[in-house]
Amino acid sequence: MAGRGMSVAAAALGLALWAGAAAAADLPAGPPGEGEGADLYRTYCVQCHGIRGGGNGVNVRDMSVQPRNHTDAEGMGGISDQEAFKAIKEGGPAVTKSVLMPPWGGVLSDAQIQELVTYLRALCKCKGRG
């Protein structure tokens, strides 16, 4: 009986490891040398903007305004890096966007916010205007 219990436990562990690897594979890879931006995005942004940045995070069903799709090159290309930085640091209202975008300046350093802006450019595969 102990052998069967061990087999079930080993199978469950294997399934958990496989599921974890599959979930990790679903996360967008950070650009080379920009691992911190990707890590910060996964920690602070995916709940609303989604694991792949498409604006479809788990919180969207409860939001009256849909989050920006960070993979949309045309839309993201119309935003300067300075505007993206300000939106992250001061929140949506600072750039005349949704109040649902919180200000992260009290949590993240300017250097961390810049890492996020760099990561956003990797997600959209675009450069900002101006």
Contact between 59 and 45 (Cβ < 8 Å): no
Give the structural domain span for 108: 31-124
In the chain, % of residues over pLDDT 70:
74
On whether both 66 and 83 belong to a single domain, the answer is yes
**Rounded average pLDDT over 102-121:** 97
On whether both 83 and 115 belong to a single domain, the answer is yes
What is d(CA 110, CA 78) in angstroms, rounded to the nearest whole number? 22
On whether both 73 and 92 belong to a single domain, the answer is yes
What is d(CA 116, CA 93) in angstroms, rounded to the nearest whole number? 19
What is d(CA 95, CA 79) in angstroms, rounded to the nearest whole number? 10
- Answer yes or no: is pLDDT of 8 > 80: no
On whether both 61 and 89 belong to a single domain, the answer is yes
CATH number at residue 103: 1.10.760.10
On whether both 58 and 108 belong to a single domain, the answer is yes
**Rounded average pLDDT over 22-30:** 49
Number of domains, the chain: 2
**Rounded average pLDDT over 113-117:** 97
**Rounded average pLDDT over 59-82:** 96
